[in-house]
Amino acid sequence: MLRVSAIAEQAGVPTSSLCCEGFLGQAKTTSVGLGYPNLALATVPGHVDVQTSDELRSNVLGTTVEHVIRNLTGEIASVQATADPDPQDIVFEGSFEEVNRLFLENGWSDGLPIVPPTKEKIAEFLAFTDLAPDHAIGKLLPDNRMATVWNVAVNGVMAGCRPEYMPILVALVEAMADPQYGVEHSGNTPGAETLIVLNGPLIKQLGFNYEQGALRDGFQPNTSIGRFWRLYLRNVAGFLLHQNDKGTFGNTWRVVMAENEDSLARMKWPTIAADMGAADRGAPAADSAVTISRFTGGNVIVSVFGDSAEKLLPYLGNALVTHSAWEVIFTVGMATGTYRPLLVLSPLIAETIAKTMTKQDVQNWLYENARMPAHLFEKYLWGWTNLVPGKRTLNDWVRLGKIPKVFAGNDPNRLVPVVTKPEHIMIAVSGDPLRSNCYLFVHNGMLGFPTTRSVRLPKGWRMKLSEAQG
Amino acid sequence: MARRNSGDYAVVWPRSAKAVEIKPLAKRLDTIEGKTIAFLWDDLFRGDEIWPILKQELGKRFTGVSFIDHDAFGSTHGDEEHRVLGELPGKIKSMNIDAVVSGMGC
């Protein structure tokens, strides 16, 4: 909404942005990042989702109309830019406790103690990249601040990372800045949280946990890099609660999930990075890579039982349908074809399935069999939400050419897929190698597809790593 | 912000400069009478109910005002967002739009 207004103002026409009462604060902070801190807002009292038609009409006529007229014709006070420190300036000297208090008071910390970002610590991180400290990685909305190698190192120090994690941190911020990822949506109300999946030799070189408890904090690389992600979103992209981060509930940041590549090699199944085409982006397949995707939540699929793929897959298919509800709006409608659930199989389950099936076979089976009745799908589209207007049926969407023909039909009880392509069901392998549980992540799909970046190592990596690990 | 004490840690700022200059807003209209107002919508939160109310009321108060509905542009949210925003400056010019109402932030 505000990006529209900024473009229109840039084009020379006045604007008025319609905003529910509870979102005025976010709108004001987002406006700053767009370069127009005084974008004119017209208030819609309360929230429209729970108002009757009469209440809505009364609110619009009683408040919104006047605001629109004022926004388009009245004088709006200009705003002056405030001076920011130079990133390399020392902004404070003090004890550990004083530094932490300052960072908390300024919103630069997540509530846990941070490691003070001194120039000495930052230099240790910079030694693990061949990029210059002022190398610009990209601009990050909504604050529209520049992501640089320097501030990657600063936030890596703060998060409790080790210097040798720096190549991964840089790759993560490159992925964050990729327009395909759509970082600007990270503050939306569903409050999804990013899952980072790591592939490649760095898993073992840096000591990531990829076995029992793979999604739990407790291992320094998994935990601290997960924390780095959220600190970087806060400090550089600008996602702070009660400002640009409007997650109704939100999630805590997730630890990095490393795949069990020993298991994948035994099965000859591709990694997530390979599925995402990491090797096609100019990097050898043996390189490490990070893949980012946001998930609103997930659930464990407990005690999956069976000695063959035929017995195991119905269990997984049922979980996929059961946990795909309003999320299917991103299969059809608001952002067509962007629903990409992630199944995480324990090696035990994956290797039992892999006796007779490739990963692609599994994706095809789930696409064909993990289906829901068309009438229920359409209920999610517009019966139980107001997110996709027009009350278009699945047949309408097929006629518009937005979704495959498999969704069309006359029987409301016909079964339809929850994704538009088999490969949109992502499958990873991690967790306790000798337990029969699986996990399913689902999400709102406003962030584009999952995004992968190869990790570039500095010259002399082996020697530097050896020295760092003592 | 800077406060200098003698202590163990000399720390830097964890943020970075804004990569966007603050720009002035467009000149406001002298009147809404006779002007063309476009509505751009993200297909969310009952904008399709609010816009008709706004149109009706503005039409009653200001003579000669005309409106361009959201379907002339497409959704400003979701998979059409980048295309619709990219086309907007050209459409503002070609459709002689004098002002824009954008919704919904909810």
Q: Is B92 a domain residue?
A: yes
CB of A256 within 8 A of CB of A226? yes
Whether cis (ω within 30° of 0) applies to the bond prior to B104 is yes
Q: Is B83 a domain residue?
A: yes
CB contact under 8 A, B76 and A85: no
**How is residue A330 written in tokens?**
């991103």
Q: Is B60 a domain residue?
A: yes
HEC assignment per residue over B19-73? CCCCCCCCCCCCCCCCCEEEEEECCCCCHHHHHHHHHHHHHHHCCCCEEECHHHC
Distance, in Å, from the CA atom of A263 to the CA atom of A351, rounded to the nearest integer, reads: 7
CB contact under 8 A, A94 and B97: no
Note the pLDDT of residue B1.
Answer: 43
Note the pLDDT of residue A283.
Answer: 57
State the smallest CA–CA distance between residue B54 and chain A in angstroms. 6
State the smallest CA–CA distance between residue A49 and chain B in angstroms. 7
Note the pLDDT of residue A284.
Answer: 59
Mean pLDDT for each 10-residue chunk of chain B (106 residues)? 64 92 94 97 91 97 96 89 94 97 93
Tokens 């163990």 sit at which residue? Answer: B8
Distance, in Å, from the CA atom of A86 to the CA atom of A72, rounded to the nearest integer, reads: 37
Say which of A3, A73, A96 has its CB closest to residue B28: A73
Range of the domain at B64: 36-103
Q: Is B77 a domain residue?
A: yes
Chain B residues with beta carbon closer than 8 angstroms to that of A61: 53, 57
Q: Is B9 a domain residue?
A: no
Note the pLDDT of residue A38.
Answer: 93
Mean pLDDT for each 10-residue chunk of chain A (470 residues)? 95 96 86 91 94 95 96 88 88 95 96 98 98 97 95 98 98 96 91 96 98 98 98 97 92 96 97 87 74 94 95 97 93 90 98 98 98 96 84 93 95 98 97 97 85 96 95
Cβ neighbours for A246, distance < 8 A, ≥ 6 positions apart: A23, A26, A187, A188, A189
Say which of A26, A34, A387 has its CB closest to residue B44: A387
Note the pLDDT of residue B6.
Answer: 56
CB contact under 8 A, A16 and B79: no
Note the pLDDT of residue A52.
Answer: 94
The distance between the two most distant Cα atoms of chain B, rounded to a whole number of Å, is: 70
Chain B residues with beta carbon closer than 8 angstroms to that of A397: none
CB contact under 8 A, A15 and B76: no
Chain A residues with beta carbon closer than 8 angstroms to that of B5: 93-94, 98
CB contact under 8 A, A36 and B6: no
ipTM of this model? 0.90
Chain A residues with beta carbon closer than 8 angstroms to that of B2: 85, 89-92
Q: Is B1 a domain residue?
A: no
Say which of A49, A96, A155 has its CB closest to residue B9: A96
Chain A contact present for B67, CB below 8 A? no
Give the number of other Cβ atoms within 10 Å of residue B69's Cβ. 14
Dihedral, CA of residue A87, residue A90, residue A92 and residue A96, to nearest 10: 90
CB of A335 within 8 A of CB of A445? yes
Count A/B contacts: CB-CB distance under 8 Å: 284
CB contact under 8 A, A44 and B97: no
Note the pLDDT of residue A171.
Answer: 98
CB of A116 within 8 A of CB of B68? no
CB contact under 8 A, B76 and A93: no
Any idea how long chain B is? 106
Note the pLDDT of residue B20.
Answer: 86
Chain A contact present for B44, CB below 8 A? yes
pLDDT tens by residue, A377-416 = 999 998 888 788 888 999 999 999 999 999 999 999 999 9
Say which of B17, B23, B57 has its CB closest to residue A35: B23
Note the pLDDT of residue B2.
Answer: 45
Note the pLDDT of residue A448.
Answer: 74
Chain A contact present for B68, CB below 8 A? no
Domain count, chain B: 1
Say which of B4, B23, B54 has its CB closest to residue A60: B54
Report how far Cα A256 is from the mean position of its chain's Cα atoms: 13
State the smallest CA–CA distance between residue A265 and chain B in angstroms. 36
Say which of A8, A57, A335 has its CB closest to residue B92: A8
Say which of B9, B40, B44 has its CB closest to residue A99: B9
Give the number of other Cβ atoms within 10 Å of residue B61's Cβ. 12
CB contact under 8 A, B1 and A91: yes
CB contact under 8 A, A23 and B106: yes
CB contact under 8 A, B88 and A96: no
pLDDT tens by residue, A68-109 = 999 999 988 888 777 889 999 999 999 999 999 999 999 999
Considering the entire predicted model, what is its pTM?
0.89
State the smallest CA–CA distance between residue B92 and chain A in angstroms. 8
Cβ neighbours for A105, distance < 8 A, ≥ 6 positions apart: none
